[in-house]
Structure 1
């Protein structure tokens, strides 16, 4: 996947550095996810790449958080559903909702297996609305978007959740200081390809606040990814 259209977009990195806008849009004439929607073969490759990239980290997120007090988990932008299946496998009391675009939901139905009976598959746009649940998991989605769009996703969760609900954002945090770190390289890739960015803990806290949420804690996992837990403000 990286060696395909993303690589061609990264060739125009200087455009992104000068303008703050994604080079992908300049090279391909439309935003990354709009382009994928119009190119099913590349979209399928993207989904397979996300499954491969998520191996290990899905299990780490599912193991790191205690879901015992919840009843309905909503995986926002859940793609193939690998994270949702990992959570449901560890929490037989939970029901699940997988929200994604049509291609993601179709792929998730094929992967669901025995968990299909405990899962509602919802085709939708998380910028418009999200289904009702009492805990929302958003893994490697927020980093795809600039602050305005990222805040909107979180606000939609806030609007749908009950007062005791929680939003769990699973992302790799940018460490403080100027020391080299792989996630800082990924931050530049996100700028060029999607217009998104990797963030520090403080930046996520500000995003939550803007969306009517409050960062409660950051939970480390066994993988290079953290779970940021937010409650209604």
Structure 2
């Protein structure tokens, strides 16, 4: 007796099962395919509805056959949907457009940039030496490279803004910001979180502190916030604005090793009075090894900078050693949690 193979289009070939290992091995292919469709503006061309690969190719200056194959593969990852010979964006794929709220286009371009690809290629050396793969590839630390390459610095700032847009809303909504006083956002980028805080608390004033070239592109210039904020450029390793009632430190500590985190925290502590609150916004890894989305980000820190994601106990140790007392940790809908601390009355450690 013979059997006839099932040749229906939706019937998988015998043994055609994707294992987790196989999916991981293809990871860089998916990433580069995402980058390719962004570079050619494919998602933007689908803003008004489905189009065929031929139509998309003509409008984007690409070739229809390879484009169809790329989109067909990315459809299996939930970014596109194919029906009746045409492709449409899914909800997830919409984030690849440049003109939508919460766009992840800049973030995807950053994490698929050669800076990250070359860093990842050096992970075998990182395991042997402990040195970031980025420094092996480029010969300088990551942030020094950004300072020397304005186009990469702009990409980084744009990615951080797009990556944290929704997160800023989630974070601000999870914390009761004061109705008055001054909040100082240390290393606050373009001020997305500060804008959310000031918007929610009309009596609050704010200071945005970061590199001069970063704060120059701030997001605070709205009529609603007029007269309630100022920007200041500087280096949080040496000095920060004094006199604030609440200090924010969002997604900063994970960029640095412990000794540099202590330098940053002690710089802040010297600028504030006892009792001043500090709100550290960072991912808090579970101590029991259970899954968490920041575990992958921890590897990005390993290969690009000398920072790391930390557990609650590790944050408490840093805070205690720099003159702060941990009060509580508040989870949010975002990847990050809110780590609330208070400046103690003890002398600031050197």
Q: Which residue of 2 aligns with 1:101?
A: 211
CA 1:20–1:70 in structure 2 vs 1: closer, same or farther (change >3 Å)?
farther
> Alignment partner of 1:74: what SS?
strand
Q: Select 2:319's aligned residue among 208, 214, 217.
A: 208
Unaligned residue ranges in structure 1 (runs of 5+):
none
Aligned to 1:134: 245
249, 274, 289: which one aligns with 1:178:
289
- Tell me the SS of whatever aligns to 1:87: helix
Can you list the C-alpha shifts for 1:46-68, whole angstroms capped at 9, x where unaligned? 11110111021111111222222
What is the deviation of 1:111?
Answer: 5.1
Bigger radius of gyration among the two: 2
In the alignment, structure 1 residue 91 sits paired with structure 2 residue 201? yes
Shift of 1:172: 1.1
Unmatched 5+ residue regions in structure 2? Answer: 1-109, 345-350
Cα displacement (A) at 1:25: 1.2
- 1:112 match: 221
Instruction: Find 2:276's aligned residue among 126, 144, 165.
Output: 165
- Counterpart of 2:309 in structure 1 is 198
Structure 1 residues 22 and 70, CA gap change in structure 2 (3 angstroms): farther
User: 1:42 aligns to what SS in structure 2?
Assistant: helix
How far off its partner does 1:69 sit? 6.0
Structure 2 CA distance for aligned equivalents of residues 28 and 116 of structure 1: 42
Measure, in 1, the Cα distance between the counterparts of 2:338 and 2:180: 17
Question: Quick one: distance in 2 between partners of 1:21 and 1:71?
Answer: 43
Any runs of at least 4 consecutive aligned residues in structure 1 with deviations exceeding 6 A, and if so which?
Answer: none
Q: Choose from 169, 172, 175 the match for 1:65.
A: 175
Aligned-residue RMSD, C-alpha? 1.4
| Cα offsets for 1:115-162 (capped at 9, x unmatched) | 352112111000001101111111111100000111111111111112
Q: Which residue does the alignment assign to 1:51?
A: 161
Higher alpha-carbon deviation: 54-63 or 141-150: 54-63
SS in 1 for 2:288: coil
Tell me which of the two structures has the higher relative contact order, counting C-alpha pairs closer than 8 angstroms and 6 or more residues apart: 1
SS in 2 for 1:14: helix
Q: Number of residues paired by the alignment?
A: 232
- State the Cα distance separating 1:223 from its structure 2 match: 2.1
- Do the aligned partners of 2:180 and 2:201 also contact (CA within 8 Å) in 1? no
Q: TM-score, normalised by structure 2?
A: 0.64
Choose from 79, 82, 85 the match for 2:192.
Answer: 82
Q: Distance in 2 between matches of 1:69 and 1:202?
A: 31
1:164-194: CA deviation from partner (whole Å, max 9, x where unpaired)? 2111001111112233432112111101101
CA distance in 2, matches of 1:222, 1:57: 8
Q: Is residue 151 of structure 2 the alignment partner of residue 41 of structure 1?
A: yes
